[in-house]
Amino acid sequence: MKKTVIYTWSILYSTFPVFSERIPYVSAILLREDGTRFSSLLEGYQDGMEVYIGQEVRYLGTDAQGRERYSLEN
């Protein structure tokens, strides 16, 4: 898999009930080396953790619905 980095991001402290167990969490637009941008929730965030534009994220695989999963933890 090609290198994927954070293009832009936001930390969410409130959300819909379906995501309430994840608060706080990072919602991001990610950027692949080929220029493709796409949205993703990033796993592994803990309150106070450093998150920055250009930060490389780790591909975790796909979930049961076929969506790609990424983590802040390398």
At 64 the pLDDT is 92
At 20 the pLDDT is 79
Residue 18: band (very low, low, confident or very high) from pLDDT cuts 50, 70, 90 = confident
Residue 35 sits at φ, ψ, to 5 deg, of 95, -5
- pLDDT, one tens digit per residue, over 41-51 is 999 999 889 99
At 41 the pLDDT is 92
What mean pLDDT comes out for the span 8-12? 95
**Segments making up each domain of the chain, as ranges:** 4-59
At 1 the pLDDT is 62
Residues above pLDDT 70, as percent of the chain: 97
Task: Tell me if 6 sits within 8 A of 54, measured CB to CB.
Answer: yes
Task: Tell me if 70 sits within 8 A of 25, measured CB to CB.
Answer: no
